[in-house]
Amino acid sequence: MIELTHAAIRLLLVAGLIATAGLLPPLAAAHDAAMHTAARPARAELATAAAFGPDGTLYAVSKDGEHLQLFRSGDDGASWRGPLKVNARPEPIAADGDSQPRIAFNREGDLLVSWTKPLPRPYTGEIRLARLPAGGAAFDEPITVHRDRAEITHRFQNILAGPDGRVTAVWIDKRDQEAARGRKQPYRGAAIYAAVSADGGRSFAPENRVADHACECCRIALTADRDGTPIALWRHVFAPNERDHAIARLKPDGAPEAVARATFDRWQVDACPHHGPALAVDEAGTRHATWFNVREGEGRVFYGRIGAAGVEGQMPVGGPRAAHADIATADGVLAIVWKEFDGERNRLRGLRSTDGGRSFVPLELAATAGAADQPRLLARAGRLYAFWRQADEGFRLYPLP
């Protein structure tokens, strides 16, 4: 499986056009694009989780070697306390691109941190979680969320703590692909699995499969529906090989109520863009999403409202180099933020809507000459903030107007 950057996607699109014109065989064109992808430098490990705690404190978790470290700020990022080690014993940690640590607060106010622990075989891993009791001075010993211990892909996790006290974890899992391979049967992509904790993240029940045929390397969006039910959105591989998105509400045991197609761009590619979606549900229950796809030969970030009848109000977000958009809603305001390279600097840009996504006002929030993580949207007391880690400037918080 090839993981595609924006540059590699552009190369692949160009290669496809050349192949279509008869100047290169299709496989040679794709191979040439893949070689450019394989030669790219390693990503900076800047992936950082951030969230406001129940008392309004800003929390951030980032990687330092074989540890995750927790930082806390009581003045909206002007100063930070810490670090506090999340995992006392060192272990491998994935913290780049769509492999991100995640933060959630359970109903008791305990801080939960999840991450992927890479295993020796390429593209394999385990989903790990550690809990910091409310008012505690140290994290509990991390646990592995899933019962399956095969050295296969368990990666790209996300977690959600619900108002009913349950904690839901979701991830990409290749156990079914491995089983199909053993039977010498075809299997598209990977699977989505979920496990649920009824004790605040101390332990998890056996996992359930949410869906077969997910894309292998994209983050999973996970948020609460209007009634508190977890709802997941992920890049899916629809037959024969269309990399669109699927959506599902999850039952109390993590199994899906139903799996439905969410986007209809019909991008056909045998590769993963390493570029997952984001999802937010507003007060009226409308599902707002951002995602990356190639449509009519152009790779773009899109926004749209996901409904039973299809996508409403789909539109491109930013320019051709926009990437990794996040979306959130609070107190009648819908916001989108993303990073976009302008040829010299990475820029943090946004859109703000007060009419449910029917119209937007553009926002210019920040810029950096160095590398930067994907931006995060955070909500506190009805107001939205953009959190952005920059290689040169560190953690930064930007209130949205």
Query: What pLDDT is stored for residue 4 in this prediction?
Result: 53
Separation between Cα atoms, residue 49 and residue 248, nearest integer Å: 24
Query: What pLDDT is stored for residue 42 in this prediction?
Result: 58
Separation between Cα atoms, residue 335 and residue 320, nearest integer Å: 20
Separation between Cα atoms, residue 51 and residue 57, nearest integer Å: 8
- Tens of pLDDT along the chain (401 residues) come to 444 555 555 444 433 332 323 322 332 233 333 333 334 455 679 999 999 999 999 999 999 999 999 999 999 999 999 999 999 999 999 998 899 999 999 999 999 999 999 999 999 999 999 999 999 999 999 999 999 999 999 999 999 999 999 999 999 999 999 999 999 999 999 999 999 999 999 999 999 999 999 999 999 999 999 999 999 999 999 999 999 999 999 999 999 999 999 999 999 988 888 999 999 999 999 999 999 999 988 999 999 999 988 999 999 999 999 999 999 999 999 999 999 999 999 999 999 999 999 999 999 999 999 999 999 999 999 999 999 999 999 999 999 99
